[in-house]
Amino acid sequence: MNNLIESTKNLRKDFTATGYIVNPERTKMLVIFHNKLQKWLPAGGHVEPNELPHEAALREVFEETGITAKIITDDPIINLENKVDCQIPRPYTILYQIVPENKKDIEHIHVDFIYAMQAEETIVKIDLNEVSNIKWLTKEELLKCNCFDSVKGFAKNFLK
């Protein structure tokens, strides 16, 4: 890990957030087919100015799928009795990803805040500008599909 970070230290870093949406039984995960990347991915995107990572993940999930999701967290509650601190949801993990140069941008880094989420409903509405298909897949199906290793890793560790 440190070699990757060291070798890319001069690249621009963008903060992104992704919502790995699972059903209540944790037997399936919702993935979208990303037109530009030609891969199955969870919903996600850039953190906007003045937006917190968990807010960005929830926004992206809603924009791309129409689903209102809930962040799954086992964060210990810290009792803060002052007015200058508050606790925000901790991500499931944070990924450091190289984004190759493309027609629109130079090579850069995505620091991706990954949130495990549960769908409150199963009806989806896709944003046809960004995705062409959406599916609920089991762990076995995800391990065989055209997706990034991080998606397969989440499926192995989180889905039943």
What mean pLDDT do residues 4-24 have? 97
Could you give the angle at the alpha carbon of 150 between the alpha carbons of 108 and 110, nearest 5°?
A: 20
Could you give the angle at the alpha carbon of 127 between the alpha carbons of 122 and 130, nearest 5°?
A: 125
With a CB cutoff of 8 Å and minimum separation 6, the contacts of 135 are: 30, 31, 33, 40
What mean pLDDT do residues 142-152 have? 97
Question: Would you state the pLDDT for residue 120?
Answer: 76
Question: Would you state the pLDDT for residue 1?
Answer: 60
What are the DSSP E strand ranges found in 23-150? Answer: 28-34, 39-41, 43-46, 69-71, 93-99, 108-119, 131-138
The reported pTM is: 0.93
- CATH of segment(s) 2-158: 3.90.79.10
What's the rounded Cα separation, in Å, for the pair 42 and 45? 10
* Contact assessment for residue 145 and residue 41, using Cβ atoms and an 8 Å cutoff: no
What mean pLDDT do residues 52-77 have? 93
Band the pLDDT of 131: cuts 50, 70, 90. Answer: confident
SS3 120: coil
Q: What is the mean pLDDT of the chain?
A: 93
In this predicted structure, the answer to whether residue 74 has a pLDDT above a threshold of 90 is no
What mean pLDDT do residues 10-31 have? 97
Q: Tens digits of per-residue pLDDT, 101-130?
A: 999 999 999 999 999 999 977 778 877 776
* Contact assessment for residue 124 and residue 30, using Cβ atoms and an 8 Å cutoff: yes
Question: Would you state the pLDDT for residue 2?
Answer: 79
